[in-house]
Chain A
Amino acid sequence: MTFLQFAYRNVIRNRRVYAAYFMASSFSVMVFFIYSMLLFHPSIENQFIQEIAFMGMAVADVVLVIFTLFFLLYSLSAFLQARSKEFGILQQLGMDRSQLQRLVFIETMILGVVALATGIFFGYIFTKLFFMVIRAMLVLDTLPLYFSPEPFLLTAVVFTTLFIVISIAGSIFIRQSAIIQLLSGSTQSRETAHFSKVGAFLSFGLLAVAYGLVLYCLYEMNVWWSPVIILCAIAGSYYFFKDGILYLIHKLQRNKQLYWRSLRIVTFSDAIEKIRENARMYFIVTMVSTLAIISVGVVASLTSFANQYRESNPISVLYVSESGNPYEASHIDQLTSDFYKENLTYTLLTAPVTKQTSAATNRPVQLLRETDINTIAAVLKEPLIDLEPGEGMRFGQEVRDGQEQLIHLRENTIYFHVDEGYQYFPLPEAAFDGPAYILSDEDFERIVNPYLYGDWASSVTTVFAFHVPDWLRTDKVGLTLDREMIASYEGNQELPFYFDNPGLNYSYISSTFSLLLVTGLLVAAVLILAAGSFIYFKFYTNLEKDRRQFEVLRHMGLTNQELRRIANRQLYPQFFLPWGLAMLHATFSFLFLQAVWVDIAAMSIAMEMLIVLGAFTCIQAVYYLLIRWRYFAHLQLHTG
């Protein structure tokens, strides 16, 4: 047996220990690879909106690598500690330090290389699926699977470097401790239930401050509190697991009436021990889970922002033609033929907008007719208005108390009072120059003299509002017009018309956000898997000890049912403690996020929050059941 074979067998035969670690790292490779495939995709370079999304991919890649590095480092040090007895024996048999280091290095590299290969293999398989999802989201015609060396190279280079770093770190970890220490194994750390009361109260204080600030922010928003909140929450959670929870259980133990009751004496003390041993791990799992929940939640709430978009842009397709626009007829023809091609029914409403001069400011104002507005409002199912002669409304803006105006139109000596705003539906401001008002039909008809600084032809703008019930499907209407609009923004030219298609814009926004959602979900999946892997690993290393304890309890006359109950409760803290705190953190972060959103867009993300929290709870429950099933099998609690 060569040295390499020995290392190889060590890995293969410890596969149960390494299973979750291996899965988490190869999954991380896989996700990284899939993202890189998209990053290097040849057929989507140079396109406008995708760039944002691909920035997201690149950021996700970097986050993944950094996270994986820390995750692997932590896991490895835990593995090495769990196997310290084995290393002690090897050293007693005469293996020298450098050989031992080489052994650890080779073992880690074997795992790394296999994980890399598996990750890339499955990555390539799932890329097609991922591309199909992306294609549907971005409404691309094709997004073929391609083969080019870049993504392979990038993934291989990045992760090989990473695994080499880890392996070196692993062989450094092993260098310290003496043989006798290694031989006495991982059970050395059984100090008394020492926790500091100060730490406990500190944790409660910090958590209270963090949550309190969130609640305070609901009343008075200040985004600059968020770093304080985050720091308090992190430090608070750390001390909570280190001291706070121990203090609480200790308090409970003091009450013997409560504590000396059937199985509690076993389960409580066991919980205390498990928490003390794993405080740091619980902390990490809590933070990782919180991060995963929040990232998905944030992206999900962005999607809901996109849904909001419809409400602020109720007119499906809008074409505003300035006077003297030579393309007007051809553009309208083109739009109607686009509708025809797409099989869309629509209602076309036109409204002339007349330009006049306000005597007070000597600047142009735009005037709309009450009936035209009401016609559009009727189609959009908005309330109608009724204006008397001499009354007017400010279009698209609210009129506050004290801002009422009497406007005098110079050309035709028309006076009207403006004491209300019209806000049932907006028209894009870019379509007009100057403020817009709605006039009663009677007053509007009195406009006979054209705009002072031009003739009739240049004082009338026409609004063409296409109402399409099936507005989401308008994303292929007026593509050329849209492109001309974008070109004019970039080239800073004035166009004699204005075109807006919310359906098309919406398709851009929603696809970008959905892409971010998928990216966020995959990153979160990696995080969750990693958190699960920590739990699995701890569970596995404690198995032997637990089995011995159950043997004693069985002798003592516990029925199988009672043993099962104890085993079940033993799993609670490691699953639901970090989970519970993560949920609490996430809930408060969402509250904060909601407060931020309300400031920006006045919308509720409660639904998204509930879905995300619910989904993560389900995942956790499934994971719990899975582990419980394995645990019972290992403790042989199923029979009888």
Chain B
Amino acid sequence: MAIVTADHITKIYDGKVAHSAINQLSFEVEQGEFLAIMGPSGSGKTTLLNLLSTIDQPTSGSLTINDQNPQTLSAKQAAIFRREQLGFVFQDFNLLPALTVEENMVLPLTLANQPVEEMKERVDRLIQDLHLEQVRNHFPHELSGGQAQRTAIGRALIHQPQIVLADEPTGNLDSKASKDVLELLTKINRERMTTIVMVTHDPIAASYCDRVLFIKDGEYFNEIYKEDLRQTFFQRILNLLSLLGGNVNDLSTVRLS
């Protein structure tokens, strides 16, 4: 069953020079799928993620997320929709600097005014799952990149959203931390059946997914499914990337694990 359906969505930015960031893009995301979206710089990945986040509205075409059409929602309804159904992970973590790890994680629940007992229970479980016991009362500036990103993942998961949207979650991490984060995401995807949509540059990160969707200049380019080992999937992603003809830069983060 498709949880996200994009039907010929187009996004045009008005300005001195009108410029279309997404052009007639159609795709679907299945319930419980782990999808990577790849593409060279400026291909519209971030725009696409913003559309999925309901932060931005497509200029034309229709987008359905969990049977809801974000375009028909008012700003307030959209906010509540995000609060209940979506979780976010960002490249630079975006933890609130003034809050401790624990507080950052319960933030979405406090917004929903859950009972404090319930919050404590959930945050305790998540902190164990994410191995953050040591840094529970630390502030973001006292964390390593990996810990910070795990905190951010905890924050994205605590309200048990339908979909987690991740924007380059490994972009600021070293290889060890990247691996941990990706394995964590995979585990969450398997165990909780949470749908994850991840935008990434990194073929290694993409190789953890079930499917990779390639876009170029805002248009559908290709997609490949993981059928076998991760290593061969990784190789196929690399092949497609070279076919895509991105810049050398886009390949620079290649690491073998």
Contact = CB atoms under 8 A, between A and B. Distances in A.
A555 B111 contact: no
B2 interface: no
Contact of A557 (B108, B116, B119): B108
B106 interface: yes
Interface stretch (A62-70, A267-275, A522-530, A603-611): A267-275
Interface string B96-135: 1111000100111111010010011000000000000000
27 contacts: A190-B139, A190-B141, A260-B109, A262-B111, A263-B110, A265-B99, A265-B103, A269-B96, A269-B99, A551-B94, A554-B55, A555-B82, A555-B94, A556-B82, A556-B108, A556-B111, A557-B79, A557-B80, A557-B83, A557-B84, A557-B86, A557-B111, A558-B83, A559-B75, A559-B80, A561-B76, A562-B79
A446 interface: no
Nearest to B120: A256
Contacts of B142: 192
Given A256-B120, A263-B110, A557-B86, 16 more contacts: A192-B139, A269-B96, A269-B103, A273-B97, A552-B90, A552-B94, A554-B55, A555-B53, A557-B84, A558-B83, A558-B111, A559-B79, A560-B76, A560-B79, A562-B79, A562-B111
Contacts of B75: 559-560, 640
The 7 A-B pairs at the shortest CB distance, nearest first, are namely A557-B83, A557-B82, A269-B98, A559-B79, A273-B98, A640-B75, A552-B94
B234 interface: no
Interface in A534-573: 548-549, 551-552, 554-562
A270 B141 CA distance: 15
A265 B110 contact: yes
Given A190-B141, A269-B98, A273-B98, A260 B119 contact: yes
A118 B103 CA distance: 50
Interface of A: 190, 192-193, 256-257, 260-266, 269-270, 272-273, 548-549, 551-552, 554-562, 640
A555 B55 contact: yes
A270 B96 CA distance: 9
A562 B80 CA distance: 11
Contacts of B53: 555
- Residue among B83, B98, B103 having the largest count of chain A Cβ atoms under 10 Å: B98
Contacts, number: 81
- Residue among A269, A557, A558 having the largest count of chain B Cβ atoms under 10 Å: A557
A541 to B, nearest CB: 15
B94 A257 contact: no
B88 interface: yes
B81 interface: yes
A78 to B, nearest CB: 20
B58 to A, nearest CB: 17
Contacts of B79: 554, 557-560, 562
Contacts of A552: 90, 94, 96
B137 to A, nearest CB: 10
Contact of B76 (A270, A548, A549, A559): A559
Given A192-B142, A269-B98, A256 B81 contact: no
A517 to B, nearest CB: 44
Nearest to B79: A559
Contact of A263 (B88, B97, B111, B139): B111
Contacts of B120: 256
Main SS class of interface, B: helix
A96 B42 CA distance: 38
B172 to A, nearest CB: 15
B98 A556 contact: no
B96 A190 contact: no
A566 to B, nearest CB: 11
Contacts of A555: 53, 55, 82, 88, 94
Contacts of A556: 82-83, 88, 107-108, 111
A556 B112 CA distance: 11
Nearest to B88: A555
A565 to B, nearest CB: 12
A556 B108 CA distance: 7
A193 B97 CA distance: 11
A156 B37 CA distance: 65
B80 to A, nearest CB: 6
Contacts of B90: 552
Nearest to A191: B141
Nearest to A561: B76
A273 B103 CA distance: 15
A287 to B, nearest CB: 27
A72 to B, nearest CB: 31
A383 to B, nearest CB: 70
- Residue among A190, A269, A273 having the largest count of chain B Cβ atoms under 10 Å: A269
Contact of A262 (B81, B82, B113): B113
A40 B49 CA distance: 70
A560 B108 CA distance: 16
Nearest to B74: A640
Nearest to B87: A556
A636 to B, nearest CB: 12
A260 B107 CA distance: 8
Contacts of B88: 555-556
Nearest to A552: B94
Contacts of A193: 139
A19 to B, nearest CB: 27
A555 B90 CA distance: 10
Contacts of A270: 98
Nearest to A255: B116
B106 A265 contact: yes
A256 B107 contact: no
Interface string B153-190: 00000000000000000000000000000000000000
A617 B103 CA distance: 36
Contacts of A560: 75-76, 79
B168 to A, nearest CB: 14
A223 B12 CA distance: 74
- Residue among B53, B55, B80, B103 having the largest count of chain A Cβ atoms under 10 Å: B103
A254 to B, nearest CB: 12
A137 to B, nearest CB: 52
Nearest to A549: B96
B84 to A, nearest CB: 7
A314 B16 CA distance: 79
A633 to B, nearest CB: 17
Contacts of B139: 190, 192-193
A272 B83 CA distance: 26
Interface string B37-60: 000000000000000010100000
A310 B42 CA distance: 82
A438 B90 CA distance: 95
Contacts of B99: 265-266, 269
Contacts of A558: 79, 83, 111
Contacts of A261: 110, 113
Nearest to A256: B116
A190 B142 CA distance: 10
Nearest to A192: B139
Contacts of A269: 96, 98-99, 103
A555 to B, nearest CB: 5
A272 B238 CA distance: 48
- Residue among B79, B81, B142 having the largest count of chain A Cβ atoms under 10 Å: B79
